[in-house]
């Protein structure tokens, strides 16, 4: 059982579920947004999203056996704890379940076209694992878009079906907030993907994967990572100064819990040289992602 949980990366799935719950119950509901999903509806959305994400994690592990045996042999599951055949069966089951739930939910709210989102996400995760992740930066960008979409999809299902001529402007305000968090998730994950590529350069080189550090070299990739790490600092700084400056609670939270760790991480990136350094940077970025999303708990105080 533990092997299956590790295979689907249950901690990452819990993160997705937490963020989607925060968007609904810490942002939209307290601020009085007109939403489309009840408790059962948001539960189905979360289950559909996490099932498709689980399938993506499984197919990724199946195609990463060669690199993982070099980069993190102690964490290899497929071929050891779980056979490749069984892993592929789990991939099919989670995919069918996720897409099926997405189909049901889309029809329930009267927006059948929304079903295409689940098909697109499922397809992109498969293409990413089998091809895109081996191409320069494209795989990093695609997987980061999908991470951002896991946040944005709540706004799509909750707000868009409820838009009327009377509430359009207010619904757009709420949707814009979700977009901001989605862009934050995309940016942090893209930087983290590059940090992971630098960390895993040895295994990727053996597998002939064209990641950024392999194409331009570890040192140049580190310099690019440092430059990219400045972007969320500037973005969060802009958000504090121009968007939430009137709310002291949120300003203090973003300064301490988001901007501070981002600056710390940038300093670490500037001095990073070893696999251990980049692993630490990757973990810090995951923490920053979590802390950034937890700010949704206090967002209601800014209204």
pLDDT tens for 193-245 read 999 999 988 887 777 788 999 999 999 999 999 999 999 999 999 999 988 88
Q: pLDDT confidence of 90, banded at 50, 70, 90? A: very high
**Helix, strand, coil: what percent of the chain each, to 5?**
85, 0, 15
Domain enclosing residue 30, as ranges: 2-302
Q: Which token pair is 152?
A: 């944005």
Residue 77: pLDDT band by 50, 70, 90 thresholds? Answer: confident
Rounded mean pLDDT, 34-39 = 95
Q: Which of 211, 55, 53 is nearest to 133 (CA)?
A: 211
In terms of Cα–Cα distance, which of 168, 156, 51 is closest to 113?
A: 156
User: Cα separation of 29 and 22, whole Å?
Assistant: 10
In the block, residue with structure tokens 């440092």? 226
Q: What is the pTM of this model?
A: 0.93
Give pLDDT, residue 302.
Answer: 61
- Structural domains in the chain (count): 1
Nearest to 100 by CA among 84, 81, 87, 119: 119
pLDDT category at 38 given cuts 50, 70, 90 is: very high
Q: Is the Cβ–Cβ distance between 20 and 150 less than 8 Å?
A: yes
């Amino acid at each position: 059982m533990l092997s299956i949980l590790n295979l689907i990366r249950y901690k990452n799935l819990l993160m997705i579920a937490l963020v989607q719950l925060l968007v609904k119950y810490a942002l939209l509901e307290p601020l009085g947004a007109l939403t489309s999903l009840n408790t059962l509806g948001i539960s189905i959305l979360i289950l559909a999203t996490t099932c498709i994400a689980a399938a993506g994690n499984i197919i990724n592990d199946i195609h990463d056996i060669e690199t993982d045996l070099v980069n993190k042999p102690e964490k290899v599951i497929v071929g050891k704890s779980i056979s490749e055949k069984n892993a592929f069966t789990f991939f099919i089951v989670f995919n069918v379940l996720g897409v099926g739930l997405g189909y049901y939910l889309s029809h329930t709210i009267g927006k059948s076209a929304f079903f295409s989102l689940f098909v697109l996400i499922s397809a992109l995760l498969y293409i990413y694992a089998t091809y895109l992740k081996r191409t320069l930066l494209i795989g990093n960008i695609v997987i980061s878009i999908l991470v951002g979409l896991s946040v944005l999809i709540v706004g799509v299902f909750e707000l868009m079906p409820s838009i009327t001529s009377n509430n359009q402007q207010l619904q757009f305000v709420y949707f814009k907030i979700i977009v901001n968090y989605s862009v934050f998730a995309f940016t942090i994950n893209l930087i983290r993907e590059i940090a992971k590529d630098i960390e895993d350069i040895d295994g990727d080189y053996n597998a002939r994967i064209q990641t950024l550090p392999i194409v331009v070299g570890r040192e140049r990739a580190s310099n690019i990572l440092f430059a990219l790490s400045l972007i969320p600092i500037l973005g969060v700084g802009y958000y504090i100064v121009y968007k939430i400056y009137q709310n002291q609670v949120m300003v203090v939270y973003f300064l301490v819990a988001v901007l501070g760790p981002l600056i710390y991480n940038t300093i670490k990136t500037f001095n990073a040289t070893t696999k251990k350094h980049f692993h630490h940077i990757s973990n810090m970025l995951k923490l920053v992602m979590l802390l950034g999303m937890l700010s949704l708990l206090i967002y209601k105080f800014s209204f």
